[in-house]
Structure 1
Amino acid sequence: MRLLITGAAGFIGSNYVRKLLSGAYGASEVQVTALDKLTYAGNPANLASVRDDPRFTFVRGDICDARLLAELMPGHDAVVNFAAETHVDRSITDADAFVRTNVLGVAGVLQAAKDARVPRVVHVSTDEVYGSIDSGSWTEESPLLPNSPYAAAKAGADLLARAFARTYGLDVSVTRCSNNYGPYQYPEKLIPLFVTNLLLGGTVPLYGDGLNVRDWLHVDDHCRGIHLVLEQGRPGEAYNIGGGHELTNRRLTTLLLEACGAGPERIRAVPDRLGHDRRYSIDDAKLRNLGYQPQVAFRDGLAETVAWYRDNPRWWQPLRRDIAA
C-alpha cells in the first residue's frame, strides 16, 4: 500500500508514520510519502527515526498548493490528512490562517484525491466540532455546533468531506478524536505546557475556575483508531475516537503537579479563554463495533509522557521561545 500522509511532521501525523513503518498496524508492504509545510508545529525531528527508511519519502509543501498536490497524489492507494492549524488560542487571534489551512487546504486535498482517483481518503478531525455538552455524550449523528474559529474551520472541512462523498462518490471517512496527549506534542498544548513549565521551575496557567471537562486520549490509541477507519470505515461516514477518561482541567493539573513533584502553589489563575467550551464527551461505540479499544491506561500514559519530557529537554526547549508560559 502506498500512502500519502499530509501534516506528517506534526504531533499526531508523525506518530502515525512512525507506528505505521514499525509494523504496529500489521502493514508489511507499505510506502509512505510524508507531506508537511513545516510550520512552527511541524518538526523534522519528529520523523528522525524513519528518515532513512527506504519506504519513506519526505516532501516539504503546503496542502493549499494545488499544483503540488496534483503532482503528488497520483499512484497513491490512500491519503490520510493530518494537516491542520490546531491551537484554539491562536485561532482566536488569527482566524484567517485556520480557514486557509483547515478549510481551503482540505478542499484542495479532497479535490486532488478525486482528480487522481485515489481509492481511499481519511480526514482527521476533532470532537470540538460538536461544541459543548452539559451531560451525556455526542454521537456521530449529533449536530455540528462549533464555538471557536478552530472548531468552525474543522467543521467546515468535515462537511466538505461529506459533500465529496455524496456528490462525487469519493471514498472518504472522517475521524473525530478527543483531547490527545503523548510524546512529541508541541509545548503550547495543556499537558506539555504545564509539564515543561514545571520542569523549568515555573507556574502553570489554569483558565477560569478550572472545571472545564475533557476526555483524554493517548496519541497511540488515536492513531490505532485512525488506521482502523482507514481499513474498515465506510464512505461518507464519521467515527468518534475517545480515550474514555474525562477529567476537569483542575484535576488534570493536580495530577501533573504530583507527577512533577510540585505543589498547588505553582498554579497561577488566569482569565478564562474566550468562548471556552465547558465539556466535551464523545460516544465512540460506532468505532468500538469495528474492534477499537483504547489500550493505554491514562495514568500509565500520563506518567510515560511526563517522563518523556523530563528526558528530552533538547527536543522541547528550543520550541518554547515563542510560547507564553
Structure 2
Amino acid sequence: MNSALVIGGTRFIGRHLVDDLLAHDYDVTLFTRGNRENPFADDDRVDHVEGNRTNDTALEATATTVDPDAVFDCVAYQPKDVRSATTIFADCEAYVYVSSGAAYGREEIPKREDETPLHPCTADQATDDSFDTYGNRKAECDRAVFAAADDGVRAMAVRPPIVYGPHDYTERLDWWINRVNRFDRVLIPGDGTNLRHRVYVEDVASALRLVAENGIPGEAYNVGDRRLVTLEEMVDLIADCLETDVELVHAGPRELAAGDLALDDYPLYRTYPHVLSTAKLAALGWESTPLEEAMERSVADHRESDRDGDENGPDRAAEERVLGILETL
C-alpha cells in the first residue's frame, strides 16, 4: 500500500497516525471539516480535502479523486456512517475503523476480541450522540465493519482503551500531571490499586497502520499498553518524569465525602478493572512503547502546552478539605 486517506487527522489519534504513515512513506490525504488548525498545512506530502464525514456525497467524491489504498476512519460515531464508508470505499485494500474498548458489554478480565460480548445497540441508541450510548454505538459500528467484511470488503476495527500522549485534547492525563507538578501532596482515590488500561497514542497509530497492512478482514484488534500500571504507579511515573517527590495520600469514599467528592470524580479512575488482551495485535508484530518513554513524552508535551485538565477532576479546595480531615485521623 502506498496511499492513505485519514478521515479526521488533525487533532489527536489521527494526527499521530499521519505522522506514522509519513514515516512509512505513505502518500497521505486528510478528510476533515476544516474547523481546526491543520498541523500539516505546510507539509507538501499531505493533501487535504475539506468535507463532512457524514456527507456521503463528499465521501464518494473523495473516493473517486483520491482513490486511496487504505482508509482510516477516526471520527465515525454512528453505525450509519460506518455502513456508508465501507460501501463507498469497498474497493480499497483496507478500511480500518477506530473503535473503542467501550464497545465491550461485559466486565471480565481481560476483555478478548473473539470472546467478550459487545454491547447491544437499539435503533434509538444508534442515532444518539450522548456519552451514555457511546459504547453501544461503537459496538454497532464494529458489527457494521464485520458485515462489510462478510460482503468482501477488507474492513477491520481497532479498539483502544483510554488514549494518552502529546496533543491529548481530553486533558485527562493533564489533570494528574498538573497535580504532581504543582503540589507536594497528591490525593489518590481509593487504595491506589485501581487498574484501568490505557494506551499511548503513537502505539495506536502504529497499530492502525499494521492492521491495515497485515490484519484479517472482519477482525477486531485491541490495542493497549503491554505493561499495565495502577493509578498510584502512574502517578509515580509522572513524578519521576518531573523529577519531583510527592506524598501520595489515599482517600476512600468516607474521607472523600468531607470534600463532597466521590471516587469516580477523579479522571482515569474506574471502579472495576478495565483490561484488554493485546495478544492478537502483538501476533501481527506490533509492540508498545516502554511506559517510561511514553510518559516522558507525555509530560514534556504537557509542560509545553497550556493544558491543565482542571475541568476533568476535583478542584484543589475540595481536596484540601479532605486532606485536612485525614491529618486529624
Which TM-score applies when normalising by structure 1? 0.76
**Aligned pairs for 1:126-275 within 5 A:** 126-131=100-105, 133-145=107-119, 148-166=132-150, 168-189=151-172, 191-196=173-178, 199=181, 211-257=193-239, 259-260=241-242, 261=244, 262-264=246-248, 269=256, 270-273=261-264
Q: Does 1:6 align with 2:7?
A: yes
CA distance in structure 2 between the aligned counterparts of 1:126 and 1:68, rounded to whole angstroms:
26
Amino acid corresponding to residue 274 of structure 2 in structure 1: Y
- Aligned-partner residue type, residue 79 of structure 1: V
The residue type paired with residue 107 of structure 1 is R
Cα distance in 2 for residues equivalent to 1:304 and 1:133: 31
Structure-2 separation of matches of 1:207 and 1:183: 25
Residue deviations 1:123-167 (CA, integer Å, cap 9, x gap): 11122212453434424332114795222211111011111111x
1:121 aligns with 2:92: no
Cα pair 1:121 1:230 within 8 Å, conserved: yes
Aligned pair count reads 289
Look up the match of 1:106. 82
Percent identity between the two aligned chains = 25
Equivalent residue, structure 2, for 1:65:
55
Distance 1:307 1:290 in 2: 30
For structure 2, which runs of at least 5 residues remain unmatched after alignment?
Answer: 121-130, 316-329
Larger Rg: 2
- Note closer, same or farther for the CA distance 1:55–1:200 as it changes in structure 2 (3 Å cut): same
1:284-303 correspondence to structure 2 within 5 Å: 284-294=278-288, 296-303=289-296
Stretch deviating more after TM superposition (217-226 or 9-18):
217-226
Contact kept, 8 Å, 1:215 with 1:245, in 2: the verdict is: no
Residues 29 and 46 in structure 2, CA contact (< 8 A), matched pair in contact too? yes
Please give the secondary structure, in 2, of the residue aligned with 1:246.
Answer: coil
* Alpha-carbon spacing, 1:179–1:289, altered in 2? closer, same or farther (3 Å): same
Work out the CA distance in 2 between the residues paired with 1:323 and 1:142: 30
* Mapped partners of 1:152, 1:241: distance in 2: 19
* Structure 1 residues 212 and 201, CA gap change in structure 2 (3 angstroms): closer
Alignment CA distance shift 1:266-1:72 (3 Å)? farther
Q: CA shift at 1:216, angstroms?
A: 2.8
Following TM superposition, by how much is the alpha carbon of 1:281 offset from its aligned partner in structure 2, in angstroms? 1.6
Q: Distance in 2 between matches of 1:246 and 1:306?
A: 18
- Alignment partners' CA distance in 1, 2:202 and 2:56: 31
Equivalent pair of 2:241/2:299 in contact (CA under 8 Å): yes
Q: Letter of the aligned partner of 1:64 in structure 2?
A: T
Structure 2 residue 36 is matched with structure 1 residue 36: no
Tell me the distance in 2 between the aligned counterparts of 1:143 and 1:185.
29
The Cα shift of 1:194 comes to 2.3
Question: Which stretches in structure 1 are left out of the alignment for 5+ residues?
Answer: 85-100
Aligned twin of 2:123: none
Q: Paired residue for 2:302, among 309, 314, 321?
A: 309
Measured after TM superposition, the shift of residue 4 of structure 1 is 1.0
SS at match of 2:75: coil
Alpha-carbon distance, 1:251 to partner? 3.7
| TM-superposed deviation, 1:256 | 3.2
